[in-house]
Structure 1
């Protein structure tokens, strides 16, 4: 039974050629985690975004604008406006960009994932369950937030 459960929590995304799991996150403007959802790699971005933003909108009532990358286009923009009164702004690459370019406001999420990679246990996917993988992300962000709170603030007197 364990083997069956493990196979179900992993998948293959043919678009990005990712085998295993994917982390869908919602972060605020400082890059601090609002919510995370770990899914099998074959779960689509739009389906995961609907579930994740249900959680975020329920917990953070003053949220008004959500920025997302090009994978979250389509009917999702209208859905969020109608269901949550949230504006979903899609940050897209222009056609003339070549290589890896971090887009404006997208760097906040890229920096978040870089912080996760500083936690050794999150570099590789060792967890059997998606709930354990989500807990490890929350644990990593707790470490980051406590480090930020504990560092001395210069200029305060």
Structure 2
């Protein structure tokens, strides 16, 4: 990170418990080194043991990553950056509308059989990433499942997570894979109007569809991180943490550049 980007990241980082008198002890390494190391791994797609010698020992970096994952600190850090970007864009920190979609990716041999599957539509053996974004394309929530899980099956859980974290969201756009009972459940149980943006029957080739292109652009941002080109994680929540780290890099760089 540059000094300008580190200033943005440092202000958004959760306060360590030992500074607030809640127990624990200071880190053995500088937080900037640890965050840089995790970002290097996510961006470069390396293994933990291949961490360059310029960074702290790989097991210390992994311990830092694991602690942030298990205690929800990476989600807190990510959400603070997202709120700042929304405020800089003149938006309210809490969104009222979103877009959902899913992406199937191949899984490495390290992914256990219990959390992987085959997506018959995309012909992919691996996992599926279900995400919800706001109208700026910023990540709101994420759910990682086996690729065999359909969009309708995972859509209910994804919308429940969205409602829990962002209670003001009342309108969500989706593609044709989310039709059926999910629309009624979203309306009657979650008080969310799930609107399906359908493709024209006479359209041929690639067509940019209203609202749906927002979430497709977010997937393109995520695929810049080589660690996300394939799912290497044994646990699904580790995959979700990797996605949040990738989006935090996109947002911190944007904040460091300032208004364009």
Q: TM-score, normalised by structure 2?
A: 0.56
Mean alpha-carbon deviation: is it higher for 117-126 or for 20-29?
A: 117-126
1:24-60 per-residue CA deviation (whole Å, 9 max, x = no partner) reads: 0000000000000111011111111101111110111
Counterpart position of 1:48: 154
After TM superposition, give the deviation of residue 148 of structure 1 in Å: 1.3
Equivalences for 1:1-157 in 2 at 5 Å? 6-154=112-260
Structure 2 unaligned regions, length at least 5: 1-108
Q: Distance in 2 between matches of 1:66 and 1:135?
A: 23
- Highest RCO, 1 vs 2 (Cα 8 Å, sep ≥ 6): 2
1:123-142 per-residue CA deviation (whole Å, 9 max, x = no partner) reads: 12222221111110010011
Q: Distance in 2 between matches of 1:121 and 1:57?
A: 29
Runs (4+) of structure 1 moved beyond 3 Å?
none
Bigger Rg over Cα: 2
Structure 1 unaligned regions, length at least 5: none
Q: Distance in 1 between matches of 2:116 and 2:180?
A: 25
Partner SS, residue 84 of structure 1: coil
Q: Distance in 1 between matches of 2:143 and 2:221?
A: 17
After TM superposition, give the deviation of residue 149 of structure 1 in Å: 1.0
Let me know the Cα RMSD of the aligned residues.
1.4
Q: Distance in 2 between matches of 1:57 and 1:16?
A: 29
Q: TM-score, normalised by structure 1?
A: 0.91
Q: Distance in 2 between matches of 1:116 and 1:130?
A: 16
Q: Distance in 2 between matches of 1:91 and 1:27?
A: 15
Partner SS, residue 189 of structure 2: helix
